[in-house]
Amino acid sequence: MKYLVTNGSSITKGGGFENYQYRQGVRDFYKSKGVEVPMQDECTYTYHLGKLLNSQPINLAKCGSGMRRLVRTSYDWINNNLDKLKDTTFIFELQEGIRMEIFLTEYNKFGVVNGFIGEPEWGEDYHMVMNWFEDDISPDKLTEKYKSKLNMYHQNFWSWDYEEQRTLRELNMFFAFVEKMNLNYYVSASEHNVDKIYTMDKSKVINLDGHSDIWTYTQDKKLLIEDEIGFDDNHIGLEGGKVVAEKLHRFINENS
């Protein structure tokens, strides 16, 4: 295959390894241990798996994003690259929880609200963000700017149960489309979500030493940043990304 297209959250994007002008802590801590960290894209399992597959890596993931963004941006890439589909391997990393995608008309950009919790509580521990660490306006300031509107929306027009049902409907429609298009794809998803997506070919769900999703595999195998260098960050570590790529490569070879 000529192309490897991945989509998902910070697990796929390389969270923790944002380029230095945006985030210094993790990189500086690795450097204090004698390890130079490359640019963010080269810290991901996508990058290393692309090399193993001899494919061009195309990483559509976004830190803090959810399944509805995955569906939207995957649709966009597929529809804009119909001539490449026969030469493309897809990996869809499905995230836990509701991460609501919104469109900010003032900025003409999509954003994400993290931290929605079940009714009747709204809670204060949530953030609105366009791109973690990379925006001119910080998540705290952006959240504060729209906080009253977010609260009004949540209190009057939002339901956890409905959002979950809506997200699952979109996922099922998306995978029906993926199957209809006969795409070559694999899925990282938690066990309790696998059975909820009935239009998906279950043989496409990854199996990494008994784990059906990438993050719980890396957590179980101590492959996170906090495991590698002792820095308080639960994203996949520098060496962890290479291990994940090797495991995925083996799974793909055995199931293609």
Residue 189: CATH number of its domain: 3.40.50.1110
What pLDDT does residue 117 have? 54
Picking from 160, 183, 204, the residue at the C-terminal end of a domain is: 160
Residues 243 and 145 in one domain: no
pLDDT tens digits, one per residue of 182-231: 999 999 999 989 999 999 999 999 999 999 999 999 999 999 999 999 99
Q: How many CA atoms lie within 13 A of 78 on its CB side?
A: 23
**Is residue 125 scored above 70 in pLDDT?**
no
**Is residue 86 scored above 50 in pLDDT?**
yes
**Is residue 152 scored above 90 in pLDDT?**
no
Picking from 117, 132, 160, the residue at the C-terminal end of a domain is: 160
* CA–CA dist 182, 180 (Å, integer): 5
What pLDDT does residue 20 have? 84
Q: How many CA atoms lie within 13 A of 128 on its CB side?
A: 19
Beta strands at 56-59 and 3-7: parallel, antiparallel or unpaired: parallel
Residues 86 and 112 in one domain: no
Whole-prediction pTM: 0.94
| Residue corresponding to tokens 């279950």 | 202
Residues 7 and 81 in one domain: yes
What pLDDT does residue 122 have? 47
Residues 131 and 217 in one domain: no
Domain count for the chain, please give it. Answer: 2
Longest dimension (CA), the chain: 52
> What range does the domain containing 224 cover?
3-98+165-255
Average pLDDT over residues 84-96: 96
* CA–CA dist 169, 109 (Å, integer): 24
Per-residue 3-state assignment (H helix, E strand, C coil) for 183-228: CEEEEECCHHHHCCCCCCCHHHECCECCECCHHHHHHHCCCEHHHH
Find residue 253's DSSP bridge partners: none
Instruction: For residue 167, give the H/E element and its range.
Output: helix 160-180
pLDDT tens digits, one per residue of 3-18: 999 999 999 999 999 9
